[in-house]
Structure 1
Amino acid sequence: MSPTLEKFVDQLPIMNVLQPNHRTKDGPYYEVRMEEFRQKLHRDLPPTRLWGYNRQFPGPTFEVNQNKPIRVRWMNHLPNRHILPIDGSVHNVANEPEVRTVVHLHGSETRPDSDGYPEAWFTNGFKETGPSFSREVYEYPNHQRATALWYHDHAMGITRLNVYAGLAGMYIIRSEQEKALQLPAGKYEIPLLIQDRSFNQDGSLAYPRQPDDAADNLPNPSIVPAFLGDTIVVNGKVWPYLEVEPRKYRFRILNGSNTRDYQLSLDSGQSFYQIGSDGGLLKRTVKLEQIGVEPAERVDVIVDFSKLKGKTVVMRNNLGANADPNDPTGEIMQFRVTKPLSRKDTSKIPRHLSRIPSLKQNNITAIRQLKLVGSTDEYDRPLLLLDNKKWHDPVTEKPELGATEIWSLVNVTNFTHPIHIHLIQFQVLDRQPFDLERYNKDGKIVYSGSVTAPALSERGWKDTIAAPSAQVTRVIAKFAPYTGDYVWHCHILEHEDYDMMRPFTVINPDE
């Protein structure tokens, strides 16, 4: 249990925008060091030992232009011992270096050798110890739509620990088309990276060594099936406040938590105007009183404070009807409409935002039914799998380059999984409920309700989607522009690490 910390006493930090080290004929070149450092996360907490990109938590924000490639040299300067408990029984981790990293730019259409393949990790002293297929310099083409991506660690078997230690940051692609919409910009556009953490009394990160109900035979440390911190952190501050002017603001919201999903609302009763999702702008603005955000999902929203001069507004997290009323995670941060209007607000909330051509018109070359299943391991721990296969089983999904496929995600577990597919942005087709009790008896999928279209907020480009329990969630994707080895997985990091991640290979049939 974290120490009791007063809310809304620290100002929201804004991550600095990273500048390139130099520019070359191939575009801007950046160098980013992963290092251990200490950072004060709350007024009343001692500085917390963290890992961060360029000694920051969260890491600095990349701002790049569409169709302008960049190169980034990711350098591991971390210590040889981890600051969090490592379960050596997962993915042969006990036989690997304790501290390993590899960076994944989440949502990026990137060649496989720059995608952050989980086994392409490297250590401090890269040249001597890194696997032969790992590399430090990554190339990001940025040829996709303007959007907010994020970068985070993706090392096999310890992603949950590396991200929890602080290895995450935002990456924003800009375009001229988006600028023409006159959305709130500059200091009125703010990233909000929301995470949950738990702390010890000395300010250090608290993360469980074993599940609460650990059996005597469990490894110690042992991976836990989920992690919910008891403290909310936004942009590296615990329950911060932000002073705003009485005008419109654009917030690029990212759920960077390991397991926790958020149901966001404003206690003023006003609406969010959602203009974008994982893959950029929606077709039309969607007015919402509450927005659900699963781990790794991004939502792009406008909030209008123009009629709230002198007021305070709390962004809340709806924990549900049966939640403990004293649970502090029901609040995220506070907005104080106390700054004077610096100039007239000429920004807009457009009704029409962008064109999103449907992939349904494409020739569909494969329809895959992929089950999200639960089992147990030799220690009777939960073992969640994709299509009942483990990471090291042979690759079974081999879409052809340029092919359009439908993936039906059949969730036969009893909770939602946020599913992320690397390389591509996909579209959500629909969901349909089935009788889970019947499935558990005889293994048959019997539908129990009609097909429902995706929510208006899900009708853009997505790279991570909520696949609810006892439902079939169908997505459609064109597998391009690169061939090679990629992965798809649940983005609950405790699930991804063990063993809810699978490789897939995009193949060129002509080769």
Structure 2
Amino acid sequence: MKRRLTRRELIKYGMLGLGSITLGSGAYRLLSQGASSARADEDLPRTPIKFTPFTQALPVPPPKQGVTTPFTDGRHCVLPSVSGLTAPKFYTVQLRPVTQELIPGFPQTVVWGYDGMYPGPTFRVNHNEPAIVRFTNNITGVNTIVHNHGGHTSSESDGSDSVFPSQVTGPGQSKDFCYGNIAPINPATHNQETSDFASTQWYHDHMMDITGRGVYMGLAGFYLLKDELEAGLIANHTLPADAYDIPLVFQDRVFDANAQLVYNPGANEFGGWLGDVFLMNGKAQPFFHVEPRKYRFRLLNGSNARWYELTLSNGQSMLQIGKDSWLLPFGVNRSSIRFGLAERADVIIDFSKFPVSPNSVVYLNNILQQNDGRGPGGTSRPGTSLLKFIVDLPLNTNVPDATITANAAGDQTVTLRPNIAISPTEIVRTRNFEFDDKDGWSINERRFDPNRNDATPQSNTAERWVLENDGGDWQHPIHIHLEAHQVQKINGRTPPVYQSFKSDTTQLGPDGTAEVFIKFRTFAPGRWVFHCHNLEHEDNAMMAAFQVIP
């Protein structure tokens, strides 16, 4: 690596004269100088604990329950002014440290959890039913703020302290976040663009400079939405029933000999922290019992710096029905699916051809090799098995199996959610953003300044943004808040069909470029951010702010 650490970075992570950091007891515990902690760019950090994989069941985060009784203390946050909204539901979430068994046989790992669990509870919300969520921070010595990733929200509730610092939630404090659960509003008709309504969002800590630490400690969960169109697809059995809809976040972690999380981003000059233990929904290499039917999995790369390419061990394809927050117009068969950081893939896996038997087994494998934060290298098969599916549950004949299949090659008949493409004639301006590592992570050779607007698009217009990676062999997944963007070209070429519709995070490969169209439909004025979602890059100034102006 050639990037030089700033003194601010050294001080922030305690690297002046100190060793690596073990995260336990709700706060940092410093290992002695010279404690073992391999640099990620020289050799992967190693967990000394040995365990037998596939001996613990996959946890499925419970649904978060809301109430209709309003909060009574007079606080308020911005909800959209749009017809059709029902009365909001109110939710309370407690952030607190807790011990949890991540590695089989080691129940004492300290994590930070929403409602004291990692991952946090899953929100399952409905279109036009706003959610007002009160987050209370009970983590000693740690400021937090929550970002609903992929959400169409006001600046106030977007969860970016760099542009809305009053929403920072300090220890012992609580703050309310308002999620309208609407689609963006068409300024001409004043109706919601339901083609842009989301399905698979996630929420996570987004505190400036320390997002990587918060997410690594466990502050992440799913936020799933359903509108009339998707409810109809479930009701007519095109998509699996809710009982067969499983959120699945994959992450990598390093543990010390006491099964405590180790996080030492300065060891590789904040290039990106990799782990060597793979967690699925917070459990190391678990198993999952399934029926012989189609299941829907909301796959999320929730790692700090690791990319994945997933395959099934029997060579069977997966049917991708969604990219990031949004359903695709139709299903696309994928033999493997590569994920950059924070990306999601909504997929169908069909177990219906398996006999019901404890011996009917298929593994979800990661075939992508990665040795440092620069990004992935090549693939290697069969790869590392992350999750074991066991097809040994009897088929529940009271619930029909889903009927969704892939379209024939070249057939773009809409079977899921229609897509309305942004037309080139709508574009009013082109902006160029260069992501590089000149004297630290930067965009257009400027490190992040929360007081500076790097773009000022006009409300209800569309722009072309050209995202360019000038960081050599570094790879950067770029996340733009507020709105979906539509990828037009990747490295000058038309993107694959599954990347051709809506995204909130787009991969930039080495020296790569992406041309995207994006609209700025806001229901309240404000500022938002965009950034690399390698969390160590984000924490170290590879971020920019934009203000949507009237």
> Which TM-score tier does this pair reach, normalised by the shorter chain?
0.7 to 0.9
Offset at residue 224 of structure 1 (A): 2.5
Q: What is the match of residue 263 of structure 2?
A: 207
Cα gap change, 1:203/1:280 in structure 2, threshold over 3 Å: closer, same or farther? same
From 231, 240, 243, the equivalent of 1:179 is 231
Alignment of 1:125 with 2:168, yes or no, is no
| 1:210 match: secondary structure | helix
Matched ranges for 1:153-302 at <5 A = 153-181=205-233, 182=237, 183-208=239-264, 210-211=266-267, 224-302=270-348
Counterpart amino acid of 2:513? V
Offset at residue 326 of structure 1 (A): 11
Counterpart amino acid of 1:102? I
Residues of 2 paired with 1:353 and 1:390: CA distance? 41
From 470, 493, 513, the equivalent of 1:412 is 470
Cα gap change, 1:210/1:363 in structure 2, threshold over 3 Å: closer, same or farther? closer
Offset at residue 23 of structure 1 (A): 3.7
Q: Is the 8 A contact 1:190 1:251 kept in 2?
A: yes
5+ residue gaps, structure 2, are 1-45, 71-85, 184-196, 372-376, 408-414
Residues of 2 paired with 1:356 and 1:503: CA distance? 28
Residues of 2 paired with 1:370 and 1:245: CA distance? 48
Residues of 1 paired with 2:125 and 2:69: CA distance? 13
Offset at residue 46 of structure 1 (A): 3.6
Q: Is the 8 A contact 2:434 2:468 kept in 1?
A: yes
Deviations 1:257-280 (A, max 9, x none): 001111000011100000011132
Q: Is the 8 A contact 1:108 1:149 kept in 2?
A: yes
Q: Is the 8 A contact 1:276 1:460 kept in 2?
A: no
Residues of 2 paired with 1:326 and 1:476: CA distance? 35
- TM-score between the two structures when normalised by the length of structure 1: 0.84
Cα gap change, 1:325/1:468 in structure 2, threshold over 3 Å: closer, same or farther? closer
Residues of 2 paired with 1:315 and 1:207: CA distance? 26
Q: How many residues align?
A: 448
| 2:262 match: secondary structure | coil
Counterpart amino acid of 2:390? R
Offset at residue 301 of structure 1 (A): 0.3
Matched ranges for 1:357-376 at <5 A = 357-376=420-439
Q: Is the 8 A contact 1:107 1:149 kept in 2?
A: yes
Residues of 2 paired with 1:484 and 1:361: CA distance? 26
Offset at residue 346 of structure 1 (A): 3.0
Residues of 2 paired with 1:157 and 1:18: CA distance? 29
Deviations 1:276-301 (A, max 9, x none): 11132111210000001111111100
Offset at residue 426 of structure 1 (A): 0.9
Alignment of 1:422 with 2:477, yes or no, is no
Q: Is the 8 A contact 2:294 2:401 kept in 1?
A: no
Residues of 2 paired with 1:118 and 1:507: CA distance? 20
Alignment of 1:105 with 2:163, yes or no, is no
Offset at residue 319 of structure 1 (A): 2.1
| 1:330 match: secondary structure | strand
Offset at residue 362 of structure 1 (A): 4.6
Q: What is the match of residue 380 of structure 1?
A: none
Residues of 2 paired with 1:26 and 1:67: CA distance? 9
Alignment of 1:79 with 2:125, yes or no, is no
Residues of 2 paired with 1:137 and 1:336: CA distance? 41
Residues of 1 paired with 2:256 and 2:515: CA distance? 42
Q: What is the match of residue 472 of structure 1?
A: 513
Matched ranges for 1:33-48 at <5 A = 33-48=94-109
Residues of 1 paired with 2:379 and 2:519: CA distance? 45
From 362, 365, 373, the equivalent of 1:313 is 362
Residues of 1 paired with 2:68 and 2:497: CA distance? 42
Counterpart amino acid of 1:374? D
Deviations 1:227-272 (A, max 9, x none): 1110110111110110101111000111110011110000111000
Offset at residue 225 of structure 1 (A): 1.4
| 2:112 match: secondary structure | strand
Counterpart amino acid of 2:251? Q
Q: What is the match of residue 88 of structure 1?
A: none
Identity over the aligned pairs, expressed in percent?
37
Residues of 2 paired with 1:479 and 1:123: CA distance? 31
| 1:499 match: secondary structure | coil
Offset at residue 8 of structure 1 (A): 0.7
Residues of 1 paired with 2:381 and 2:53: CA distance? 13
Counterpart amino acid of 2:389? F
RMSD: 2.1
